[in-house]
Amino acid sequence: MKPPANATEKERLLWLEIDENKIPEHVAIIMDGNGRWAKKRGLSRIKGHKAGAKAIENALDSALHLGVKVITVYAFSTENWIRPEYEVSVLMTLLFQFLKLQKKKLMDKDIKLSIIGDRSKLPLFVNREIDRVLDETRENKSLIFNIALNYGGRADILNAVKNLIEAGIKPDDLNEKLFSSYLYTKDLPDPDLLIRTSGEIRVSNFLLWQIAYSELYFTDILWPDFDTIEMLKAILEYQKRERRFGGTGGI
């Protein structure tokens, strides 16, 4: 693939290796390691989250040039509320600031915001900003930037079941396609590639139904260090894999 004009020499070599006919449509990311990144530098965890927010901007730029259609980031899980109150409130403020600052950039880059998760527990000032950016970017087409907020894979499935029952769906009418249409991700394709940073090898309740056939990529790199080079390495690894979706040669 042709490298972007501002690519460094090292990035250029990787861009040239990318096969533009094998780009994942949806990349989901568990952005782990902000705290450890900060600790290694003698900084507060908050500084780690700030650096993590910057890394998101970078991931969006790489995704745009690659032609990825959806980027989903796990920003706040249903379990994250048990973190110290101060850290939760900083994460909410960071999210608010991020959205406020990114609004213009999302418009310039034709990126549409999307949110999955239970928004009812988020602070009002965050929800208001989310609504503004959702509204402003709703016609954008180049990339969907999907943020998982107060999201849990099990909660997603449970919520779908509750809504199916409430809608009076008969057991015989239920199938995988219909079930998927009750999940938070109803308008999105399933992830082709799931990336987790910071060396943890688990999926931590993220998109459980949706990653049934996703390629999983784990790296020791801490999220704030996940730059263009790391994104390109992940894509190249994905392109080396042979996807079978349960067809011949494996399960």
Cβ proximity to ligand FPP: between 79 and 135 the closer is 79
Residue selected from 24, 69, 98, 115 as contacting ligand FPP according to rule CB under 6 A: 98
Q: What tokens were used for 7?
A: 């690519």
Chain residues 128-157 in contact with ligand FPP, contact rule CB under 6 A: 147
Active site residue 127: no
- 36 carries a ligand binding annotation: yes
Q: What tokens were used for 91?
A: 């994460």
- 249 carries a ligand binding annotation: no
228 touching ligand FPP, by CB under 6 A: no
Helix H or strand E encompassing 147: strand 143-151
What burial class does residue 180 get, using C-beta atoms within 10 Å of its C-beta: 0-12 exposed, 13-18 middle, 19+ buried? middle
Q: Exactly one of 6, 19, 21, 32 is catalytic; name it.
A: 32
The answer to whether residues 134 and 188 touch, using CB atoms and an 8 Å cutoff, is no
Residue selected from 44, 58, 80, 159 as contacting ligand FPP according to rule CB under 6 A: 80
* Smallest separation (angstroms) from ligand FPP to the CB of 33: 4
Cβ proximity to ligand FPP: between 94 and 236 the closer is 94
x-or-dash string of contact with ligand FPP, 57-76, rule CB under 6 A? ------------------x-
Cβ proximity to ligand FPP: between 53 and 221 the closer is 53
| β partners of residue 195 | 29, 217
The answer to whether residues 4 and 65 touch, using CB atoms and an 8 Å cutoff, is yes
Active site residue 80: yes
Q: Which residues contact 67 (CB under 8 A, 6 or more apart)?
A: 20, 23
Distances from the Cα of 221 to the Cα of 30, 33, 151, 230, 245, angstroms: 12, 8, 24, 8, 28
Closest residue to ligand FPP using C-beta atoms? 35
**Cα Rg of the chain (Å, integer):** 18
Give the total of residues touching ligand FPP (CB under 6 A): 17
* Cα–Cα distance, 24 to 54 (Å, whole number): 23
Cβ proximity to ligand FPP: between 18 and 149 the closer is 149
Q: In angstroms, how far is CA 85 from the centroid of its own chain?
A: 24
Residue 142 CB coordination number (10 Å): 13
x-or-dash string of contact with ligand FPP, 24-43, rule CB under 6 A? -------xxxxxx-------
Q: Exactly one of 58, 80, 127, 159 is catalytic; name it.
A: 80
CA atoms within 13 A on the CB side of 149: 21
Binding residues: 32-37, 45, 49, 77-79, 81, 83, 196, 202-204, 215
The catalytic site residues sit at 32, 80
Residues at the site binding ligand FPP, with contacts judged by CB under 6 A: 31-36, 49, 52-53, 56, 75, 80, 91, 94-95, 98, 147
Binding residues for Mg(2+): 32, 215
